[in-house]
Amino acid sequence: MKTMKLILATTIVALTAASCCSKSNAPKALVLYYSLTGNTKAVAEEIANHLGADIEEIVCVNPYDTNFQACIQRCMQEREQGVIPDIQPVKADLSQYDVIFIGYPVWFGTYAPPIDKYLLTEDLSGKKIVPFCTFGSGGLESSTADLEAEEPFAKILPGYGVRAARMDAMPKEVEQFLIAGGFIKGDYTPLADFPEQHEVSAEEADIFDAAVNGYPMIHARATTVASRALPNGTEYLFTAEDLPREDKPDMPPAGKMQVYVTVANGQAPVFTKVIR
């Protein structure tokens, strides 16, 4: 009987140790974000809920105005003067985390200034960083490149971005993004690569025009395109070139751009991001 009890006790200790070891070896994530209008906050909370991760907001000492024009004007002045706004101290102890999700709105093609301040005050060397962002037309790729330049000793993983006009699609996209990245389990079918582009047809040009119609920052003509199947429709990758603006004749064209357009089954075309 004593022998049996000893074996049982030893087994329990071993299982407990294995369980503790397993938990300690599991990557621990922190979701850290700056949000002005609430869109980036919504993405951050969606990610944190899926992961069961800790979450913290980066807060400006002198908050930006939520009025678009006032915010842009202040940001332009700060950029011209080389000013980076102060932020309140972040409470999270980074030594406790293996993966850090960093979220932000895209301003002027990169992460908003409060993120810049955070990166200047914290050492993220050796960390795995997952960027996520919200934007008007695009900026995930350019802001990720800036993040890689700012944190050369961190490992920057593929990120997620969503247009503010497409927040209703965000929850499902975040789930698929986390599955694809191996952060959570679930069904995920990788998309095929886009084939070689070809000259746009009249029908494809109409799809492009319908997708960007009404968006003031895109005044362009599609030249070439490639498409691939989605589980619920078709995704197009257009190459387009800026056209002269009648309302601003002195403004030089910005050149070529890539515009991603999704046409879900039975839905109107919508562009998902622009890469300039």
Helical H runs in 26-167? 39-51, 68-81, 113-121, 140-150
Helical H runs in the chain? 2-25, 39-51, 68-81, 113-121, 140-150, 170-180, 202-212
Q: How far, CA to CA in Å, does 38 sit from each of 34, 43, 64, 274?
A: 9, 9, 13, 22
pLDDT per residue of the chain (276 residues) written in tens, 0 to 9: 444 444 444 444 344 444 343 333 457 999 999 999 999 999 999 999 999 999 999 999 999 999 999 999 999 999 999 999 999 999 999 999 999 999 999 999 999 999 999 999 999 999 999 999 999 999 999 999 999 999 999 999 999 999 999 999 999 999 999 999 999 999 998 999 999 999 999 999 999 999 999 998 898 999 999 999 999 999 999 999 988 866 666 666 668 999 999 999 999 999 999 999
This prediction has a pTM of 0.87
Report which DSSP code applies to 23: H
Q: How far, CA to CA in Å, does 39 sit from each of 54, 69, 134, 170?
A: 19, 18, 7, 10
Distance of alpha carbon 69 from alpha carbon 51, whole angstroms:
36
Tell me the sheet residues that pair with 198.
225
Terminal C-alpha separation, the chain: 75
The two structure tokens encoding residue 162: 């969503």
Antiparallel, parallel or unpaired: β 29-33 and 54-57: parallel
Residues 271, 208, 238, CA angle at the centre, nearest 5°?
80
Q: Is the dihedral of CA 215, 218, 224, 227 positive or negative?
A: negative
Q: Is the dihedral of CA 143, 145, 151, 157 positive or negative?
A: positive
**Given this model, what pLDDT does residue 65 score?**
96
So where are the chain's domains?
A: 26-180, 198-275
The set of residues, in sequence order, having a beta carbon less than 8 Å from that of 271 and lying 6+ positions away, is 137, 163, 211, 212, 215, 218, 259, 260, 261, 262
**Given this model, what pLDDT does residue 5 score?**
40
- In CATH, which of 3.30.70.990, 3.40.50.2300, 3.30.2350.10, 3.40.50.360 is domain 26-180? 3.40.50.360
- Torsion-angle region of residue 6: left (phi > 0), alpha (psi -120 to 50) or beta? alpha
Distance of alpha carbon 109 from alpha carbon 217, whole angstroms:
13
The set of residues, in sequence order, having a beta carbon less than 8 Å from that of 147 and lying 6+ positions away, is 102, 111, 119, 129, 131, 156
Helix (H/G/I), strand (E/B), else coil: 260: strand
